[in-house]
Copies of this chain bind each other. A is one copy, B any other.
């Protein structure tokens, strides 16, 4: 492989999270599916925000969280995703740059405001997400810089991009550019409902164009329309080079054509907010992979990063992950 300037370039929706607490009755009352993501429009944002409790704002976005995590490990990362020229847009750009990520997508000067996700965290730490995609859907193929893609070992894409045609096109452009440059492509399926909305496209993509796939149990069973995790493992084996399947408190499983590697979960004393668990698992895994660690060690790095992020509110790491990994003997 030629010299690469970046370990990973991530492409995803650029979102500011608005995080509040609620009880299960609140979710029922407002017909919200616990643990899932749904898309809402501006009017629905106003309505839900109007009834939810006091909140905290933090930068988010699935691939953006992963990229922030990778940077916290000491990896070299870039991000492509669109905000608007507003206060939340400035917040998003600040936070991702402040952690050392190259982020140059110009903010949209007109159109919808920066994307927000109203995240409701129940007492069990589970999160229910309500996303207004706003300016993030204005990402087009024009923003996908071929030189940037060619300069990264892995291009990391979030499935959520499939929810709008322009972003989906940008996604495909990026995957093709990465392949053409001889780089690897990684995909996270994002959400089981998102998989339901785009099942055929995702299956084709995994079969043809993805080297590394990230999915949780609900997503991978939804992708192959099977009823058990074991069937899903069977279905995905060989479809891509590496499938990384996360199972919350049951740990994770790494599936290659030949091997199945079980990774025990990292114990967390107090689960505060599971938002970002999958994103940060991917960060640790990809950091390990770009640095030549064994797949088992990649999984352990992923588990460690996921454990950190679920122990506090918000989907970005609060502790420097490089130091944390060193203190646990996972890297030197």
Contact = CB atoms under 8 A, between A and B. Distances in A.
Interface string A300-325: 00000000000000101000000000
Contact of A98 (B52, B98, B113): B52
Copies of chain A in the complex: 2
A321 to B, nearest CB: 13
A91 interface: yes
Given A87-B113, A88-B87, A98 B54 contact: yes
Of A20, A54, A57, A94, most buried by chain B (CB within 10 Å of CB) is A54
Interface centre among A58, A59, A91 (most CB of B within 10 A): A91
A163 B229 CA distance: 63
A26 interface: no
Most chain B C-beta atoms within 10 Å of own C-beta, residue among A52, A56, A59:
A56
Nearest to A87: B87
A23 interface: no
A156 B57 CA distance: 28
Contacts of A113: 87
Interface string A41-68: 0000000011011111111000000001
Given A49-B94, A94-B49, A56 B314 contact: yes
Nearest to A114: B87
Interface string A229-241: 0000000000000
Nearest to A97: B50
A166 interface: no
A52 B94 CA distance: 9
A99 B53 contact: yes
Contacts of A99: 53-54
Q: Which of A18, A95, A316 has the most CB of B within 10 A?
A: A95
Contact of A58 (B56, B87, B91): B56
Nearest to A96: B54
A114 B87 CA distance: 10
Nearest to A19: B56
Contacts of A54: 59, 68, 94-95, 98-99, 316
A200 interface: no
A58 B50 CA distance: 16
A18 B52 CA distance: 21
Interface of A: 18, 20, 49-50, 52-59, 68, 86-88, 90-91, 94-95, 98-99, 113-114, 314, 316
Given A50-B94, A52-B98, A55-B91, 16 more contacts: A18-B91, A49-B90, A54-B59, A54-B94, A54-B95, A54-B316, A55-B94, A56-B56, A56-B314, A57-B57, A57-B58, A86-B86, A86-B87, A87-B87, A87-B88, A87-B114
9 contacts: A52-B98, A53-B99, A54-B99, A55-B91, A56-B56, A56-B57, A57-B57, A87-B87, A87-B88
